[in-house]
Chain A
Amino acid sequence: AQKITQTQPGMFVQEKEAVTLDCTYDTSDPSYGLFWYKQPSSGEMIFLIYQGSYDQQNATEGRYSLNFQKARKSANLVISASQLGDSAMYFCAMRDTGGFKTIFGAGTRLFVKA
């Protein structure tokens, strides 16, 4: 069965420093996609970054990168040079070919300190 685990309910980071948000997943499907979404206090869900199970390189999108370790089934989000606007809830998600569904972790709330 699919499962996404985010073990950090809350994280603090100093402005301009890098931070890693943890995500582990479980699926028996060899074909799957991993996603990170950001939810600011205004409530909308914003897609940040995607990593496919067959991708050889870690995905990057601006200050966001995904540290993909397939053997460990982890897909950690790295935010470099944190900004105050990065304070938000972050969700890890996965979609495989088995059921057309995207499942989400419980989320990590990130606080960026000035």
Chain B
Amino acid sequence: NAGVTQTPKFQVLKTGQSMTLQCAQDMNHNSMYWYRQDPGMGLRLIYYSASEGTTDKGEVPNGYNVSRLNKREFSLRLESAAPSQTSVYFCASGGTPWNYNSPLHFGNGTRLTVT
């Protein structure tokens, strides 16, 4: 029972570098999400994918891109990292998007530092 697998766990980037965070789920969920967690601000939604083939912006999409590669995988890309993107990133999945009773299942997070 892997659930949601997220890689890498830690990453340090220099300003301007790029990287992709990988996420895969084996629960056959339709919807997948990328959040960032900053102190005192809870989790803020970056992008989400309600189903395979669709992606939409969340609350804080600037500086990020996403790809829903297939039903299992949803990646987050930082094209040109900035210090403001230093954060903990969580991938999550959660059933069918119109089911408001579906809890999210989270990966273990990626701690990203941009210097």
Contacts and interface: CB of A to CB of B under 8 A. Distances in A.
Interface of A: 4, 6, 9, 31-33, 35, 37, 43-45, 47, 50, 52, 91, 93, 95-97, 100-107
A91 to B, nearest CB: 6
Interface stretch (B18-26, B39-47, B63-71, B74-82): B39-47
Given A35-B103, A43-B108, A45-B106, A100 B42 contact: no
Contacts of A102: 33, 45, 92, 94, 104
B58 interface: yes
Contacts of B100: 31-33, 52, 95-97
A95 B109 contact: no
Contacts of A91: 42-43
Interface of B: 31, 33, 35, 40-45, 48, 50, 58-59, 88, 90, 92, 94, 97-98, 100-106, 108-109, 111
Contacts, number: 64
A107 B106 contact: no
Which 8 residue pairs of A and B lie closest in terms of their CB atoms, listed nearest first? A100-B97, A45-B106, A104-B42, A104-B43, A47-B103, A33-B100, A106-B42, A33-B101
Contacts of A103: 45, 59
Contacts of B43: 91, 104
Contacts of B45: 101-103
Contact of A43 (B35, B88, B103, B105): B88
B67 to A, nearest CB: 18
23 contacts: A33-B100, A35-B104, A37-B104, A44-B106, A44-B109, A45-B92, A45-B104, A45-B106, A47-B103, A50-B101, A91-B43, A95-B102, A96-B100, A100-B31, A100-B97, A100-B98, A101-B33, A102-B45, A103-B59, A104-B43, A104-B44, A105-B42, A106-B42
Contacts of A9: 40
B95 to A, nearest CB: 10
A103 to B, nearest CB: 7
Nearest to A29: B100
